Amino acid sequence: MRPANRRILFSALLVVATLLPITAALAAGGRATLTLQIVGLRSGSGLVLATLYASADGFPTKPDKAVKRGRSPIKNGQAVITIRDIAPGTYAVSAIHDENGNGKLETNWLGIPKEGTAASNNAKGKLGPPSFKAASFRIQGDTRQTIRMSYY
């Protein structure tokens, strides 16, 4: 085979090898699953609720601005939440330990949480909730994160 033909063949094979994973992801809809393992729960009562945000808008205090939500009962001191059908991108997770099962975070008169709170990357805020930037992470395929619940 002539050197020019080898280069063309090599280039063609390189293009095909590069496009195969992209084509497979597109054929599958390019969607991912996020599995959250929430640890450090102080009791087995209630549920763990998680919200997935695609931007800083509403993070972490406005669940109506979340793009996806999940929930899980607590078993053996932890909860596992699976959120499916997520487009590739940058996201942040906020989670609460809804101990009384009313579907919202209980706070005292100063706004300090009475129930557990957590964020992806185990991000913490200073005198308030963590920022989207501190909690954000990329989802490009199936992703797993372990998050520790905090109580005040």
Q: What pLDDT, on the 0 to 100 scale, is given for residue 127?
A: 85
Q: What pLDDT, on the 0 to 100 scale, is given for residue 5?
A: 45
Same domain (yes/no): 73, 1: no
Same domain (yes/no): 68, 95: yes
Q: Could you give the CA distance from residue 66 to residue 53 in angstroms, rounded to a whole number?
A: 5
How many domains, the chain? 2
Same domain (yes/no): 25, 92: no
Same domain (yes/no): 76, 19: no
* Domain membership of residue 22 as a residue range: 1-30
State the pTM of this model: 0.79
Q: What pLDDT, on the 0 to 100 scale, is given for residue 3?
A: 54
Per-residue pLDDT reduced to its tens digit, 94-137: 999 999 999 999 999 998 999 999 999 999 988 889 999 999 99
Same domain (yes/no): 16, 37: no
H helix runs in the chain, sequence order: 3-27, 132-135
Q: Kindly list the averaged pLDDT for each block of 10 residues, start to end, along the chain of length 152.
A: 52 47 52 97 96 97 96 96 98 97 94 96 93 97 97 92
H or E stretch covering 51: strand 47-53
Q: What pLDDT, on the 0 to 100 scale, is given for residue 46?
A: 96
Q: Regarding beta strands 143-148 and 32-39, do their DSSP bridges make them parallel or antiparallel, or are they unpaired?
A: parallel
Q: What pLDDT, on the 0 to 100 scale, is given for residue 85?
A: 97
